[in-house]
Structure 1
Amino acid sequence: MRRSILRYTKHRITQQPDTEATFEAKCLTCAWEAKPASDGATVDVECMSHTGRTQHNRFRRLCTSVALVERAE
């Protein structure tokens, strides 16, 4: 019989330093896409402007970032 010793270590996840999150949006009615930006509000304004021009009101929004997992000590 083989025995194992389990050790649990707490970890935390944060955004990788020196990187920025990227925000994107795509209209679910047509092929329109917002220009990717590091500011989510900028993308939201583009979506609202698109809605004002076209009456399309459904969007897929993405936020992409690089994650860093470290031991919490």
Structure 2
Amino acid sequence: MARAVLRFVTHRITRHPDTDVTFEAECLRCKWKAEPSTNSAAVDIECMSHTGLSNHRGFRRIYTSFAMVVRAEQDGPAAH
């Protein structure tokens, strides 16, 4: 009979270090979309400008990040 040894390793999810968070927005009344940016304030300003020109006040805001799962760090040396 074969035996198996199971080991459980704790993992965590984190933002991928080689990527940036991207912010986007789109109008809920027309097909207008803000230019995607890594600067959330720039996207907000575009939305406010669109409101000033069109009086459209509702937007869908999109926050995109890429993630990866890694092994969680151990708090101390392994017990023997």
Task: Please indicate the TM-score interval, normalised by the length of the shorter structure.
Answer: 0.7 to 0.9
TM-score by length of 1: 0.81
Is there any run of 5+ residues in structure 1 with no aligned partner, and where? none
1:55 aligns with 55
Q: Distance in 2 between matches of 1:60 and 1:6?
A: 45
Which consecutive aligned stretches of 4+ in structure 1 deviate over 4 angstroms post-superposition? 4-8
- Give deviations 1:15-47, integer Å, cap 9, x for gaps: 101211111111000111000111111101110
Matches within 5 A, 1:1-73: 8-73=8-73
Instruction: Give the letter for the 1:16 counterpart.
Output: H
Instruction: Quickly say closer, same or farther: Cα 1:6–1:28, change in 2 above 3 A.
Output: farther
Q: How far does residue 6 in structure 1 lie from its aligned partner after superposition?
A: 6.7
CA-atom RMSD in angstroms? 1.7
Q: Distance in 2 between matches of 1:22 and 1:8?
A: 34
TM-score by length of 2: 0.75
Percentage of identical aligned residues = 57
How many residues align? The count is 70
Q: Work out which of the two has the higher radius of gyration on C-alpha atoms and give 1 or 2.
A: 2
